[in-house]
Amino acid sequence: MAFGRRRQADDPEKGPEPIEEPVDAVDEADEEATDEAVPDEGGPWDSADSFPELQRLDFGSLQVPVAQGLGFQVNFEATQFDDEGNPLDGRPVAILVQYEESAMQLQVFAAPKRSGIWEDVRRETAKDIQEEANGQTQEGEGPFGPELLAMVPAALTEEVLAEMPQEVREQIPAEFVEQGWAPQIIRFLGVDGPRWFLQAVVQGAAIEDEEQWQVLEDVLRGVVVVRGDAPMPPRELLELQIPKEFSEAGEEGEEQAVQSFNPFERGPEITEVR
């Protein structure tokens, strides 16, 4: 099974070749030159790390870089319902970073102190996709280590088609429209940190478009995770908050930030950095 070629996933960039000379054969000047030649791969970062200063939105447990053309949306989970089962209130559970025709969902969880959980999460995700979504999965290596590609059938109902921009709808092959579904590729990335696990789920053009993926990769590398000291069960979501920028007017040249965060009325609005 193949989902299409990706440079990062299929042809990971090779790191520096190991030095075959004994350590004492390298003088001090050569050591300094070698250190300078090794690039810093960057984050995601823990809040205790020494990380580069960037303009970031503060979502509480996640601090996410902003850049030109990025949009941000907060996804909610219902926590209270009325007598008829309609949601009344909710909590933020994920951040959606949008760039052109691409999107990356970010979620951060508590993890054990001495071991990561990405291997188990990756295996369970693949099983769920295969058994519950009738999809296919394939593991690979990417810029952040092991990752998972999934291909799942996406519904193409009349309602879904009607909401699509005309230029997107016209690009859908006729056989997909006739059968009522199209294959959708989703990329799962995970990063195990100190007592936390960060998952990124990528969809859209960035699966194949290198330029759009590079923008999202740079965002992911600049994320700072604020774990906090409170004990938490593994896999419990770390608390997310709504940045003050989402309820205040942005600076000159930016859109008005979010006016309302009623998550059950057309979903959270998007604020875009221009």
Both structure tokens of 135: 């999809």
Dig out the tokens for 238 from the structure.
């770390």
| Mean pLDDT in residue range 89-118 | 93
What pLDDT was estimated at residue 114? 84
Instruction: Average the pLDDT over 245-251 and give the result.
Output: 59
pLDDT at 248: 62
Query: pTM (2 decimals)?
Result: 0.74
- Between 257 and 194, name the one with better pLDDT: 194
63-91 tens-digit pLDDT: 999 999 999 999 988 888 777 777 777 88
With left for phi above 0 and alpha for psi between -120 and 50, is residue 47 left, alpha or beta? alpha
Given a cut of 60, is residue 270 above it in pLDDT? no
β-bridge mates for residue 99, sequence order? 70, 102
Q: What residues pair up with 84 in beta bridges, in sequence order?
A: none
HSE-up of 73 (CA within 13 Å, CB side)?
Answer: 16
pLDDT at 265: 31
Check residue 156 and give its pLDDT: 82
Q: What percent of the chain has pLDDT over 70?
A: 74
Structure tokens at 105: 């969902």
Distance CA 206, CA 9 (A): 13
Residue 155, classified by CB atoms within 10 Å of its CB into exposed (0-12), middle (13-18) or buried (19+), is: exposed
Q: What is the dihedral of CA 149, 139, 75, 206, to 10 degrees?
A: -40
| 167 CB neighbour count, 10 Å cutoff | 7
Tokens 């791969």 identify what position? 41
Higher pLDDT, 79 or 165: 79
pLDDT at 43 over 70: yes
Longest CA pairwise span in the chain (Å): 77
- Cβ atoms of 55 and 69 within 8 Å: the answer is no
Q: Which two tokens stand for residue 77?
A: 């989970």
3-state secondary structure of 205: helix
Q: Which of residues 5 and 55 earns the better pLDDT score?
A: 55
Q: What is the mean pLDDT of the chain?
A: 77
